Amino acid sequence: TEYTAKHLSDDALARAWAIFQLCVLRENGTVTDDVYEESMRTLFGLGAVEQVAADMGPANHPNTLAVLYFDNQGDAKYDPLRLGLAQMLISDLTGPPEYEIVERERLAEILSELELNQSSKIDPTSAARAGKLLGAEWLLLGSYFEMMGTFRIDARMIRTETGEILHAKGVNGAATEFMNLEKELATEFAGALLEQVADNTVAKEAQTAIMEAK
Helix (H) or strand (E) holding 24: helix 12-27
Which pLDDT does position 104 carry in this prediction? 83
Which pLDDT does position 44 carry in this prediction? 61
Which pLDDT does position 120 carry in this prediction? 57
Which pLDDT does position 119 carry in this prediction? 59
Find the distance separating the first CA and the last CA of the chain, reported in whole Å.
26
The pTM is what?
A: 0.65
How large is the angle between the packed helices 178-213 and 81-93, nearest 10 degrees? 50
* pLDDT in 10s for each residue of the chain, 214 residues: 555 555 554 566 676 777 777 788 888 888 887 787 777 777 665 544 334 334 444 445 889 999 998 999 999 999 999 889 999 999 999 988 999 999 888 888 887 777 765 655 677 777 888 888 888 899 999 999 999 889 999 999 999 888 889 999 999 999 999 999 999 999 999 999 999 999 888 877 877 777 788 7
Which pLDDT does position 150 carry in this prediction? 95
Which pLDDT does position 58 carry in this prediction? 45
CB neighbourhood size of 199 (10 A):
11
The alpha helices in 45-80, defined as continuous H runs, are 50-56
Which pLDDT does position 117 carry in this prediction? 59
Give yes or no for a contact between 70 and 143, defined as CB atoms under 8 angstroms apart.
yes
**Would you give the DSSP letter of residue 153?**
E
Which pLDDT does position 142 carry in this prediction? 93
CA torsion sign, 190 to 60 to 170 to 114?
positive
Give yes or no for a contact between 65 and 138, defined as CB atoms under 8 angstroms apart.
yes
